Structure 1
């Protein structure tokens, strides 16, 4: 099975009631503070090589989960995406970066379903956050706007959107701003997972492929937790890391087995090679799936209410 590894973030909280949820949200906001910039001295002057490798191995695509949902025949729902009116509340680079990732995943979802009107509102919010993070140069907003109004150009629109995020990610990693890249990755992953898990939550007969893809994200959560551990000198990142560790705990019941398939010959770069095929099987018990769904819902909603 092809692994679904998409850009992504999280602040997972184990279950709490309405009153305790309110307190958790307020405490989290206090930890994030109102400093407009991340303190790079609290992050690290240079990201360790191991962390750079983890960051690079988490490949990014804001549309992969959306593509899976569409191919499974899932109908579009605007209830799943973040409200762009909240963008003015994101007054620190930490909040901006996480929510730029969230809006990026929403943009992929909107593009996949050809929702022109919401795309324009989403792009306005992305433009604001990208300007405040000083990465607006990677978005050709005029071209994106033109393509968004013509559904016949959906492939070009999706290509340009993905290129924009990928180029921005490369720039951030190469220019000493890997912490921003990490937060954007976290935000995108969380939103993709939120949309997919909400689909399952509202479905009487959950799609087995979607369930398996969600279960297959256990390895991604492990990678993200490792990545965030390198930033734990910063209180903001420590909270995020600890929350990801709790998300990982929600995956405890997920098991994955690998079945060796038949080897086959393939031509790669003009050379015939023997490739050993593997088939993976992911098991997600109903109780574990429910825990994952509820945890991600709480986490994501706290992220957009920062």
Structure 2
């Protein structure tokens, strides 16, 4: 079975190939005007903008599954609330949250929840005018592969990538970052709420620490937009989470106080966004 990380690498190769092919098709006059160095920089920029920049949520949910953490019914965001989000910001963040919930349900083969979270995601995809990012038969693909976990993981992983690339191609970078943020919020929320004894489980601590670098990278990505109306609050909330991770800088463990503070903080932030 290909891992989500493999899908990301394959997507990178495909996009790079398509971009290189596009540049190669230019006429010779244009090619003479543009040096190979400029072309490489342009390709690098395109790849950076369009390739999903963080580890797939499946990497987190698979870690939970591998340590035999139970699937918790009702821990995810209520799919019936999808139609209650009215601002572009709330729709984008909750699309990220629902896609993480979809990954969680897919990892654990929870067919009913897979269908529910896909429908919730589909509602927000329409509301955000993202239908052009997906093939018309996507619902049929989900339904047809309900018993094929490997294929289903690939389909959902492609959904993440396609939505991110589509938004950035439209120049809606801030919206794409909100979707990313919702995804990482939910992944961390699930990890810190999967057990009542998180601190006593070294594997859960390892899963929490795995998310440190992606959260830090997302914070760096949002830095450019920290004063924008749409992302200011999100940037500040994410900074609170990263500050807790930084309390034990340079170590490979976390204190009980850190875990408790991290759990409390992500719960407050997540609850504020899903209400």
* Structure 1 length-normalised TM: 0.69
Aligned to 1:122, which of 117, 120, 127?
117
Aligned to 1:254, which of 248, 256, 259?
248
Is residue 303 from structure 1 mapped to residue 273 from structure 2 by the alignment? yes
Equivalent position of 2:197 in the other structure: 203
CA contact (8 A) 1:250 1:295 kept: no
Greater RCO between the two (CA within 8 Å, min separation 6)? 1
The 5 Å alignment of 1:147-296 reads 147-148=145-146, 151=147, 153-200=148-195, 202-203=196-197, 206-256=200-250, 282-296=252-266
Measured on the aligned residues, the alpha-carbon RMSD in Å equals 2.4
Secondary structure at the aligned position of 2:161 is classed as helix
Provide the C-alpha distance between the structure 2 equivalents of 1:283 and 1:205, rounded to a whole number of angstroms: 10
Provide the C-alpha distance between the structure 1 equivalents of 2:50 and 2:240, rounded to a whole number of angstroms: 20
1:227–1:119 distance in 2 versus 1, CA, 3 Å: same
CA contact (8 A) 2:49 2:165 kept: no
Point out where structure 2 has 5 or more consecutive residues left out of the alignment: 6-43
CA contact (8 A) 1:101 1:188 kept: yes
Offset of residue 129 of structure 1? 0.4
Offset of residue 63 of structure 1? 1.5
CA deviations over 1:151-204 (Å, ceiling 9, x no partner): 2x111111111112212212222331111211111000110100000024x137
Offset of residue 56 of structure 1? 5.7
1:210–1:54 distance in 2 versus 1, CA, 3 Å: farther
Secondary structure at the aligned position of 1:220 is classed as helix
Provide the C-alpha distance between the structure 2 equivalents of 1:136 and 1:54, rounded to a whole number of angstroms: 20
CA contact (8 A) 2:100 2:187 kept: yes
1:55–1:288 distance in 2 versus 1, CA, 3 Å: farther
Aligned to 2:98, which of 99, 103, 112?
103
CA contact (8 A) 1:81 1:195 kept: yes
CA contact (8 A) 2:50 2:164 kept: no
Secondary structure at the aligned position of 2:145 is classed as helix
Equivalent position of 1:28 in the other structure: none
Offset of residue 91 of structure 1? 0.8
Please identify which structure carries the higher helix content: 2
Equivalent position of 1:23 in the other structure: none
